Amino acid sequence: MKRLEDSLTLQLLRARESAMQFFRPVLQKAGFTEQQWRVLRVLNDHEELDAKQLADLSCILSPSLTRIITRFESDGFMVRKKSPHDQRISLLSLTPKAIALVAEFRPEVDAAYQSLIAKLGPKKMKALSALLDDIIKLEV
């Protein structure tokens, strides 16, 4: 049996934590958690999604996403409307206030990303991304 330290899942968690060190200062400055920022970024990129699509694309479980949606609605960051094709489905989108916040902090997040790439190196970053994509596409 492998040593725990050599476990792929543990290595992935440690790598995530290491990578997030580049982004956390910006997110704290913006006043958002990592999950909240992912929701903002996904909706900013896709403009309008239903809750299931948003959960899938932002890798957030439904109970956590429900709390984020509730908070974002009350803070004026998100609106919901009924789908014109299926009245049972609510579509979520960002308000201009939220879009402005994403635009304000995205350059700092992008700079943090560039800093991460600079530390790791573009070649290793590309290889790592390809390997992670291979893992994501594995079927059980």
CA atoms 34, 16, 41, 97: torsion sign: positive
The DSSP 8-state label assigned to residue 5 in this structure reads: G
| Mean pLDDT of the chain, nearest integer | 92
Extents of the domains making up the chain: 10-136
Give the closest residue to 97 by CA, choosing from 67, 72, 66: 72
Q: Rounded to whole angstroms, how far apart are CA atoms 25 and 62?
A: 26
Annotate 60-83 with three-state secondary structure.
CCHHHHHHHHHHHHHCCCEEEEEC
Question: pLDDT tens digit string along 105-138?
Answer: 999 999 999 999 999 999 999 999 999 999 999 9
Multiple choice CATH, 10-136, 3.30.930.10, 2.60.120.10, 3.40.50.1950, 1.10.10.10: 1.10.10.10
What's the predicted TM-score (pTM) here?
0.85
